[in-house]
Amino acid sequence: MKVILVLLCLSIGLFAANADAPTVPNTIQFAGLNLKLTEKARKKIQAEVNALTRNARYFQIKVDRLQIYFPIIERVFDEEGLPEDFKYLALQESALISDAVSSSNAVGFWQFKKEAAFEVGLRIDRNVDERLNIVSSTRGAAKYLKKNNRVFFDNWVHALLAYQQGPGGALKLVKKKYQGSRSMPIDSHTHWYVIKFLAHKIAFEQVKSEEPKLYLVEYSEGQGKTLKEISDQKRMDFARVQKYNKWLKRGKVPNDKHYTVILPYEQNPAVLASARNNKAQRPASSAQRLATSAKQYSTHPARYPQVQNYRNRDKGIKINGIRGVRLKEDMELAALELATGVSTKRLLYYNDISGRKHPRAGELWYLKPKRSKAQEQYHLVEEGEDLWSVSQKYGIKLIQLRKKNRIPKRQTTVKIGRVLWLKSTRPAGEPIAYQFADTPGNNNISREKPAVDGYRQPEKKQTSQSGSLQNQSQKTTDTKLSRETNVREILESAKEAVTEKLIKPAQKVHVVQSGETLYSISKKYEITIEDLRGWNNLNDSNGLSIGQQLYISEVNQIQKDQATPSETAEIGFILHQVKVGETLYQIARDYHATIKQLMEWNEKSDFNLRIGEELKVRKYH
């Protein structure tokens, strides 16, 4: 009888402790997918939710962590274009413990093994382990998930499964008929990893937003400094700064690339700054405010755009590390298409141009997609510049430039002197800043000009810099003209071949049929999925619908038919075709090369691979 009473009390206690557990619905929205749950699957997920919420103390510990880390994860996902729902995966993988280590030796917030970490560009050595850096590892996770989504032709559930199983393992478990689908079932046969993830999403997405117990601020000016120097500079407890920067093994921030140092504050930094200003007997003068702004928003606009030659002169030039051309004269888009081999649709897409635009002399045009962030941290808007010209100057996508600066979609211009953020997103609590330079490259501050909105607006006559992006880029790269490709000769020969029919680029239209995917269509026309996306302005999350029209450029097909083996082969190199599940790390190992060599040989700017992609690899004996 006592045993029965004890069991009864235990069951009542468990029920009471779990009374507030969220109820799992019959359908779940995840990353743009409508997931329909069978009753058995719903019960499985409910059991996981109950387990996660049963112990109030441990549940609250995770809530406290997500409230301080999720703002950073959400910002990085926004920059990378990854669905925000994946933030719950960090809770599932590591409970947001920076130095968590699994039994299989996966490490950090997102539980990367070394090989996968190297694949997405994370540094791991005796000085640094970026798997423990919330910003770097989150960006790596976003890249890995997006790559998986491309492998599975736009199905984020399959991409999620591949995060745990690897693309090769996941291919054996998924059903191809759901590739690109906007709706799919979750049943009793769904993999446990997916079930567990959906339980984390249900359990934690309804947590009420509260003031976090700690505020984590991203500090991006730490190159060459030690954590002790940064702590002293910010008047912060060194031990606490160390705790949130375990990724830095030897204390000093390296200079080889951009690293983010995390600074922990017990109170909201914006509120603290406001309180200090209110307590001060005399408010800081505008000159003092501006001097502070000058240090914070240091810029080097004269360095950009960075234009250099490819080693092979026939390939044109690099603009900020991206393939492009500089025009020596005005021309038609059709002529530029013929000269570069890049379709008009892609030219407009790569250069953020809506509608028809005639290329003008002196302009720099990108022939590959621009990046999601620039190498420079900030830019001060000068006379004659608009958002488009700034995006071209630094090689950053226009949509990302707007996002980072919280600028509405239809806005094209901003005031002279405004500080534009190029690498990271301007924090929501930080006001728009203005800063002025008396001479190019000099951050001297005029005493009568405002640092932030709310102060007196600048007088028009106080700006001395003028000229469009084209004029500035021409001045800063005149010394390099002798080394650049002679585009004039290419364009002159192209003009002779242009006819009236070429004014509108030759294209086919493919109407999507039932069961077709981007993969099957790309195989049908012998093109790449990347080409299909570029020509039709599709991003990683776009699916296909029956009857949808897709444009297929004929220019690329003509070039492919006319190409000779000598144009794709090179002495000392062979072509390797990427297979399912292969990574740069594996291919480099198979051919006795390094990842860096593979990327240089194939002029790759990231670690993403496509199934069927051909890579140049050096022969070995």
| CB-CB neighbours of 196 under 10 Å | 17
CATH architecture of 565-618: Roll (3.10)
**Predicted pLDDT of residue 520:** 72
The DSSP secondary-structure symbol of 579 reads: -
460 Cβ contact partners less than 8 Å away, ≥ 6 residues apart: 416
Euclidean distance between CA atoms 610 and 540, whole angstroms: 13
For residues 425 and 411, give the distance between their C-alpha atoms in angstroms, rounded to a whole number.
17
CA contacts within 13 A on the Cβ side of 327: 23
Q: List Cβ neighbours of 584 (8 Å cut-off, separation of 6 or more).
A: 119, 595, 598, 599, 607, 609
Amino acid sitting at position 411 = Q
Q: How many CA atoms lie within 13 A of 297 on its CB side?
A: 28
In this structure, the number of other CB atoms found within 10 A of the CB of residue 97 comes to 14
- Report, in angstroms and rounded to the nearest whole number, the Rg of the chain calculated over CA atoms: 27
The pLDDT value given to residue 18: 59
Which contacts of 273-282 are long-range, i.e. CB under 8 A and separated by 24 or more positions?
Answer: none
The alpha helices in 56-132, defined as continuous H runs, are 56-80, 87-94, 114-119
User: Which SS3 state, helix, strand or coil, does residue 551 take?
Assistant: strand
How many CB atoms sit inside 10 A of residue 454's CB? 8
Instruction: Report the alpha-carbon distance of residue 571 to residue 590 in Å, rounded.
Output: 20
Tokens of 592: 């006795």
Terminal Cα-to-Cα distance of the chain (whole angstroms) = 79
Give the pLDDT score at 53.
93
Tokens read off for 28: 């779940």
For the whole model, what pTM was predicted? 0.48
* Residue 197 phi, psi dihedral angles, 5° rounding: -65, -45
Q: How many CB atoms lie within 10 A of CB 372?
A: 18
- Helix pair angle (192-205, 39-54), 10° resolution: 60
Calpha distance 257→74 (Å, rounded): 22
CA 490 – CA 205 distance, rounded (Å): 56
Kindly provide the b/e burial profile for residues 49-80, where b requires at least 16 CB atoms within 10 angstroms of the residue's own CB.
bbebbeeeeebeebbebbbbbbbbbebbbbbb
Q: What's the token pair of residue 321?
A: 């590390």
Q: Give the max Cα distance, the chain.
A: 100
The residues with which 371 forms a beta bridge, in sequence order, are: 396
**Separation of alpha carbons 153 and 519, rounded Å:** 7
For position 543, what pLDDT does the model report?
A: 62
Answer yes or no: are the C-beta atoms of 371 and 396 closer than 8 Å: yes
Amino acid, res. 241: V
Percentage helix, strand, coil, to 5, in the chain? 45, 15, 45
> The tokens 């600028």 sit on which residue?
407
Q: Tell me if 506-560 shares its fold with 565-618.
A: yes
The answer to whether 135 touches 142, Cβ cutoff 8 Å, is no
The first and second tokens of residue 325, run together, are 């051309």
Cβ-contact 345, 368 below 8 angstroms: no
Q: What is the pLDDT of residue 175?
A: 86
Could you write out the DSSP letters of every residue in 188-249?
A: TTS-HHHHHHHHHHHHHHTPPP---SSEEEEE---TT-BHHHHHHHHT--HHHHHHT-TTBS
Whether residue 393 contacts residue 306, with contact meaning beta carbons closer than 8 Å, is answered with no
Superfamily of domain 506-560: LysM domain (3.10.350.10)
pLDDT value, residue 532: 72
- The topology (CATH level 3) of 22-205 is Lysozyme (1.10.530)
d(CA 131, CA 113): 9
Question: Under 8 Å CB-to-CB from 619, ≥6 apart: which residues?
Answer: 572, 573, 574
Q: Tell me the two tokens of residue 502.
A: 């070429």
Helix (H, G, I), strand (E, B) or coil at 469: helix
d(CA 8, CA 10): 5
Residue 278: Cβ-neighbour burial (10 angstroms; 0-12, 13-18, 19+) = exposed
Tokens of residue 340, six digits: 């570069």
Cα–Cα distance measured from residue 382 to residue 436, given in angstroms and rounded to the nearest whole number: 9
**pLDDT at residue 330 in the model:** 82
Dihedral over Cα of 236, 374, 300, 448: its sign: negative
DSSP 418: B
pLDDT along the chain (621 residues), means of 10: 44 47 93 93 95 92 93 89 93 94 92 92 93 96 92 90 91 86 91 96 86 87 91 91 94 88 83 50 41 54 80 69 86 84 86 77 87 88 88 92 86 85 81 62 35 34 40 45 42 42 51 74 72 64 68 51 36 73 76 76 74 74 39
Domains of the chain, by residue range, sit at 22-205, 284-500, 506-560, 565-618
pLDDT value of residue 160: 95
